[in-house]
Amino acid sequence: MNKKNIAGILTTQYDIVLNGWEIGGGSIRNHQSEALEKVFEIMGFEKERIEQNFGHMLTAFKNGAPPHGGIAWGFDRLIALLNNEPNIREVMAFPKTGDARDLMMKSPSELEEKQLKELHLKTVK
């Protein structure tokens, strides 16, 4: 596996669908030490940092730790479906608007220049 073959990486992901609504989903996590190490390299991590931060996990996978995965149920989606609601926002306590604004948090909002510098970001209007 190399950086040029990123499109060839396969994953195991799954969704649970009920009457056309996705009510849950998950995946089997990357559990092959060589592949996981390559992902960190592609992300730009140096070998030393990979070993320092993730060496314990890579060692565990090399020694036979089993694959692990999970699922996240979309309880709000299931409730919307059971209540015949056409939109999930009808059953959410604090829904975002159709254009992804959160009226309770007043977000998204403008960032201060200090925050932008700290995150090495620049906005262009």
pLDDT (tens digit, 9 = 90+) per residue, 31-80? Answer: 999 989 988 998 899 999 999 999 999 999 999 999 889 999 988 888 99
pLDDT band per the 50, 70, 90 thresholds, residue 26: very high
Mean pLDDT of the chain: 89
Cα–Cα distance for residue pair 2/123, rounded to 1 Å: 33
Residue 86 pLDDT > 60, yes or no? yes
Residue range 83-91: average pLDDT?
90
Tokens representing 114? 């200090």
Look-up of token digits 């996981």: 36
CA distance 65 to 43: 24
Cα(42)–Cα(45) distance, integer angstroms: 7
Residue 64 CA: distances (Å) to CA of 33, 59, 98, 99: 10, 9, 46, 46
pLDDT value at 1 more than 60:
no
The model's pTM is: 0.54
Please work out, in degrees rounded to the nearest 5, the angle formed at the alpha carbon of residue 77 by the alpha carbons of 73 and 78: 75
Per-residue pLDDT band at 7 (split at 50, 70, 90)? confident
Buried/exposed 89-106: b ≥16 CB within 10 Å, e otherwise: eebeeeeeeeeeeeeeee
Using DSSP's 3-state secondary structure scheme, residue 69 falls into strand
pLDDT for position 95? 84
H helical segments located in the chain? 33-42, 47-62, 75-82, 113-118
